[in-house]
Amino acid sequence: MDKTEMTSSQFDCQYCTSSLIGKKYVLKDDNLYCISCYDRIFSNYCEQCKEPIESDSKDLCYKNRHWHEGCFRCNKCHHSLVEKPFVAKDDRLLCTDCYSNECSSKCFHCKRTIMPGSRKMEFKGNYWHETCFVCEHCRQPIGTKPLISKESGNYCVPCFEKEFAHYCNFCKKVITSGGITFRDQIWHKECFLCSGCRKELYEEAFMSKDDFPFCLDCYNHLYAKKCAACTKPITGLRGAKFICFQDRQWHSECFNCGKCSVSLVGEGFLTQNMEILCRKCGSGADTDA
């Protein structure tokens, strides 16, 4: 017998030793196996149905996971993924449509999916299709141009200025946010200045004179009445009280008897020359009132 010829014993199943003459068999690693033994020993198990993928079935493999051809389907819509693009997410296989619907951003305007690969706009944590991210007034796409947002929507700068903006009484430029209102007119915070020293007033107490704002220092220096006793300015700020008599003024705490210094607020008093006196100190003296 030729040395290359196989004996009948050599043509047996490697596992169960049954003869393979006239039967189907599988050759693996130079060994012969009957179909039954091969399927039992070497078949992979399907991720979907958990059944073995036998030798007469097509074995589809992805990242060391295996499926029958008929089980290789989208986990959500169950359409076949054979020879179609798909995405693996959290151990699930999804067709591109289902993946987009489930995982892609939704447009804040039209509520439809923003498909992977298409351009999307993001603003304040929300997403838009590029064609949906438009000015609320002119309906033109805003893209990456500057915008101003209001409760009613987003606006390109020209439309916002046309529809809503106020103009600063000082520099005449648009006020896009914040601002100071004084005498029914509006200023940028940085434009609201003391009419005397030009100091910014938006975080300062101030007084007005002839419809012009002044810081306290300038107002006191230029316009405030002076106390006849201490000669300091009388501003009347924060409800401070003061006393007027003829052409003179006093802080309430300064309106005291010129001799004994007792307070004369709410009390009768007398005057002697330029002094004000309580009745006791002024009695018996020549007085003006």
Residue 207 pLDDT: 82
Nearest-angstrom CA–CA distance, 262 and 258: 8
pLDDT higher than threshold 60 for residue 168? yes
pLDDT digits (tens, 9 = 90+) for 32-58: 888 888 888 888 889 889 888 887 888
Q: Where are the domains of the chain?
A: 165-223, 227-284
Helix (H, G, I), strand (E, B) or coil at 175: strand
Quote the tokens at residue 117: 């690969």
SS3 112: coil
- Alpha-helical runs (H) found in the chain: 35-42, 96-103, 157-163, 216-222, 279-282
Give the pLDDT score at 288: 47
- Structure tokens of 247? 């052409």
Pairwise CA distance, residues 127 & 111, whole Å = 10
Show the tokens assigned to 211: 């419809």
pLDDT of residue 3: 41
> Is 227-284 in the same CATH topology as 165-223?
yes
Query: The domain 227-284 belongs to what CATH superfamily?
Result: Cysteine Rich Protein (2.10.110.10)
Which residues, listed in sequence order, are joined to residue 134 by a DSSP beta bridge?
A: 141
Q: What is the pLDDT, as a whole number, of residue 237? A: 63
Alpha carbon distances (Å) from 54 to 25, 26, 47, 66, 100: 13, 12, 14, 12, 34
Q: What DSSP string runs through 79-121?
A: -B-TTS-EEEETTEEEEHHHHHHHHSPBPTTT--B--TTS-EE
Q: What confidence tens digit (pLDDT) does each residue in 259-281 have?
A: 888 888 878 888 887 788 888 88
* pLDDT beyond 80 at 235: no
Q: Which CATH superfamily is domain 165-223 in?
A: Cysteine Rich Protein (2.10.110.10)
The residues that bridge with 121 in the sheet, in sequence order, are: 128
Q: What is the mean pLDDT of residues 210-229?
A: 84
pLDDT band of residue 81 (cuts 50, 70, 90) is: very high
Q: How confident is the model at residue 86 (pLDDT cuts 50, 70, 90)?
A: confident
Residue 279, phi then psi, degrees to nearest 5: -60, -35
Average pLDDT value for the chain? 82
CA gap 79, 96 in Å, rounded: 11
Residue 7 has pLDDT above 60, yes or no: no
Burial of 253 (0-12, 13-18, 19+ CB in 10 A): middle
Within 10 A of 160 (CB to CB), how many other CB atoms are there?
A: 21
Chain-centroid distance, C-alpha 43: 55
3-state secondary structure of 239: helix
pLDDT in tens, 194-208: 988 998 888 888 888
Give burial (CB, 10 Å; 0-12/13-18/19+) of 67. buried
241 is written with which tokens? 């009280």
- Find out whether 53 and 59 touch, Cβ atoms under 8 Å: yes
Predicted confidence (pLDDT) at residue 170 exceeds the cutoff of 50: yes
**Residue showing tokens 């020993």:** 41
Residue found under tokens 């001799």: 259
